[in-house]
Amino acid sequence: GEVFQRNVLASGVIPQISVIMGPCAGGDVYSPAMTDFIFMVRDTSYMFVTGPDVVKTVTNEVVSAEDLGGARVHTSKSSVADGAYDNDVECLAQMRRLIDFLPASNKEKAPHWPSFDDPLRRDDSLDTLVPSNPNKPYDMKELILKIADEADFFEIQEAFAKNIITGFGRIEGRTVGFVANQPMVLAGVLDSDASRKAARFVRFCDCFNIPLVTFVDVPGFLPGTAQEYGGLIKHGAKLLFAYTQATVPKVTVITRKAFGGAYDVMASKHMRADVNYAWPTAQIAVMGAKGAVEIIFRQDMNNPEAIAARTKEYEDRFLNPFVAAQRGYLDEVIQPHETRARVARALRMLQNKQVNDPWKKHDNIPL
């Protein structure tokens, strides 16, 4: 029991990492559950509150230890674990790599390592990363690897909620936390799982003075009864809360779509982001052209030509970054090839950022 207390008191003071290399069952699972990261070894590690025998006795359900609490289950379904590796040696090697990204405590700034990657490096391939067809996906991980120092990126929860990417990289040798929508999965929409995953990562970065770099291409929140019944409103609010509460430097780059409430949630200016950039391909609006026109001009629905003309008019007027820039919601519209230089400059400018929030015992995040 005392171990749990120590986990709680150390939370947010020092980074806590749990590595599960064998069975972990019963009440013992709650100690790793309260740490910042959990990593497992495939085929040899298990985590569950009640084992297969108890499950069979109580519910008459027959399940193996692997299917009940193996690494695959916890990395892809339950989100209990943040990653899994094939053997103990690889797992420990990756833990050393992760620790290199983290400060020793909340009193220290993010670690600074020597970097041989020019912060002003220009990457012309980014100019063609976003397809001309707005419905065609592209790999956001490619952008992260081209922005980060030496393409070094340590992804967190890679197998869970793949429609959002979270992980650590470096810019100018300093650790940053990357959060990015992934258009290759569900078009990059936000759902309950993605919101929880990103919110927890953002809060960890805020605890340990790690700046946040957010790449946005989000068409909205995932619609449907399954999401609404599953508490999408509460889970989406967690990410909104986490970003707004974070006092670390926050730099946002909108690469393509940023629609509706999802635009707000993804580190917009309204959520106290410090520097907000957009590529010329950015589309910042309440919703996409087709949906907006069908609502606003419902009376013309039987006239395809009128609808097409209205859609074109909406696209030309609103689906660009310049309306938002005119209103001060963007700091600048930048060329994709200069993204690394602009992000590096913004982080340099913000490295001594100070925020004075009103005193409170603690917040009441919508858990």
Q: What is the pLDDT along the chain (367 residues), one digit of tens a residue?
A: 789 999 999 999 999 999 999 999 999 999 999 999 999 999 999 999 999 999 999 999 999 999 999 999 999 999 999 999 999 999 999 999 999 999 999 999 888 999 999 999 999 999 999 998 988 999 999 999 999 999 999 999 999 999 999 999 999 999 999 999 999 999 999 999 999 999 999 999 999 999 999 999 999 999 999 999 999 999 999 999 999 999 999 999 999 999 989 999 999 999 999 999 999 999 998 887 777 887 888 777 777 788 888 888 888 888 889 989 999 999 999 999 999 999 999 999 999 999 999 999 999 999 8
Catalytic residue list: 26-27, 261-262
| CA 308 to the chain's CA centroid | 36
Asked if 72 and 44 count as a contact pair (C-beta separation under 8 A), the reply is no
Residue with tokens 């990204």: 101
Q: Rounded to the nearest 5°, which phi and psi values hold at 11?
A: -60, 125
pTM of the model: 0.94
Q: What's the pLDDT at 273? A: 96
Asked if 130 and 281 count as a contact pair (C-beta separation under 8 A), the reply is yes
Structure tokens at 186: 């569900």
Percent of the chain predicted with pLDDT > 90: 86
- pLDDT tens readout for residues 281-313: 999 988 877 778 878 887 777 777 888 888 888
Distance, first Cα to last Cα, the chain: 24
Q: What's the pLDDT at 77? A: 95
Helices 232-245 and 192-207, packing angle to 10 deg? 20
Q: What's the pLDDT at 236? A: 95
Please, is 165 exposed, middle or buried when counting C-beta atoms within 10 Å of its C-beta (0-12, 13-18, 19+)? buried
Structure tokens at 309: 């003309």
In whole angstroms, how far apart are CA 156 and each of 12, 76, 250, 282?
Answer: 18, 12, 19, 27
CA dist 110 and 78 (Å) reads: 30
Q: What's the pLDDT at 290? A: 77
Please, is 64 exposed, middle or buried when counting C-beta atoms within 10 Å of its C-beta (0-12, 13-18, 19+)? exposed
What residue ranges define each of the domains in the chain, with the CATH number in brackets? 2-101 (3.90.226.10), 124-282+320-350 (3.90.226.10)
Q: Rounded to the nearest 5°, which phi and psi values hold at 304?
A: -55, -35
Q: What's the pLDDT at 340? A: 96
DSSP secondary structure letter of residue 271: G
Q: What's the pLDDT at 74? A: 96
Largest CA distance in the chain: 71
In whole angstroms, how far apart are CA 126 and each of 30, 105, 169, 330?
Answer: 44, 36, 18, 20
Q: What's the pLDDT at 312? A: 84
